[in-house]
Amino acid sequence: MERILIDMPMGLSTPGFPRTIDATLRKQLPKRGSTVFNVPCKAAVYENDFNKAKQLNIETEGKSLSIQTLNIKYKIKELDEYLTQDETETKFIESHPELCFNNLNKGILLSKKSTPQGLTERLEILQKWDSNIIPVYQKAFQQFKRKDVKSDDIVDALCL
């Protein structure tokens, strides 16, 4: 069975069935808990109107949605639809790059990933585990436009 780690929320909350993993992740990432964003409830993900989506999320989660979350809710929906229709043997596992980096680096917290120092630190950590990671990163960096994929997104994907 193939396993794929993805940096997208799976298992969206519904009334009576809250999503609890995000609070657990924040506790495991002291000082970096802000990297775990609030995931919209399933009803909000499937609602096209942003204002209605916010209201549905308030009703289910007790909180509204950020612009950041609203901007990626279509990707969350796309994944949710795929997972409910997928009949392959592939096992998809929700993962969080910051938690992975934290664990790969023995619990030492890092600089923000969007800074040059943070990017360098993460590549150095990955290089300890795979000596060929820099050429792979450089190839991806050259292959994709920054408007489509930022450098820290490439490093996150390589980590997972």
Query: How confident is the model over 6-15, as pLDDT tens digits?
Result: 999 998 989 8
Query: CA 9 to CA 13: how far, in whole Å?
Result: 10
Q: Is the pTM of this model over 0.85?
A: no
What value does the mean pLDDT take over residues 87-92? 83
Query: CA 43 to CA 12: how far, in whole Å?
Result: 9
Neighbours of 81 (CB within 10 A): 12
The amino acid that residue 15 corresponds to is P
Query: How confident is the model over 94-124, as pLDDT tens digits?
Result: 998 988 898 898 877 678 888 999 999 999 9
Query: CA 159 to CA 123: how far, in whole Å?
Result: 9
Could you tell me the CA-to-CA distances from 21 to 3, 140, 148 in Å, in that order? 19, 31, 28
The secondary structure element, H or E, covering residue 6 is strand 3-6
* pLDDT of amino acid 146: 86
3-state secondary structure of 5: strand
Predicted confidence (pLDDT) at residue 33 exceeds the cutoff of 70: no
Calculate what percentage of the chain has a pLDDT beyond 90: 51
Predicted confidence (pLDDT) at residue 88 exceeds the cutoff of 90: no
Predicted confidence (pLDDT) at residue 130 exceeds the cutoff of 90: yes
Burial 110-146 (b: 16+ CB within 10 A, else e): beebeeeebbebbbebbeeeeeebeeebeebeeeeee
